[in-house]
Structure 1
């Protein structure tokens, strides 16, 4: 049996947490900006930290599995 939760969750979080795609923390003019399609170095760092924390939440704390 293959565990499909890892690649599905990791890929979807990576896509949705790209800075500027849906939201950007911190934004250029406001703390949170939506759908601006721009990025900055602080935003890249913060989105990387959020991505890592969500991966830890799903795989270590919640122990999510989806078997084929």
Structure 2
């Protein structure tokens, strides 16, 4: 059996925290902008820090595990 929990969490967080896809922090005109499909260097930095913090929480503190296979 293989543990697919870390892979699943990493992919979902990567999709949700891609700057400009769903949200962008900080935005160009406001602090949070939704679905503008634009990004900036500061936004990339903020989203990467959030990604690192959330993946550490989910994988190290919570310990998400998903076993697939026989």
Both structures adopt the same fold (TM-score exceeding 0.5)? yes
Q: How does 1:7-22 map to 2 (within 5 A)?
A: 7-22=7-22
Partner of 2:34 in structure 1? 34
User: Which deviates more from structure 2 when the two are superposed, residues 5-14 or residues 22-31?
Assistant: 5-14
CA deviation map 1:22-59 (0-9, x unaligned): 00000000000000000000000000000000100100
**How far off its partner does 1:12 sit?**
1.2
* Deviating 4+ runs (over 2 angstroms): none
Q: Distance in 1 between matches of 2:5 and 2:43?
A: 27
Q: Distance in 2 between matches of 1:56 and 1:40?
A: 24
Partner of 2:45 in structure 1? 45
Gaps of 5+ in 1: none
Between Structure 1 and Structure 2, the one with more strand by share is 2
What is the TM-score normalised by the length of structure 1?
0.96
Structure 1 position 6 matched with structure 2 position 10 = no
Superposition RMSD on alpha carbons, in Å? 0.6
Q: How many residues align?
A: 68
Gaps of 5+ in 2: none
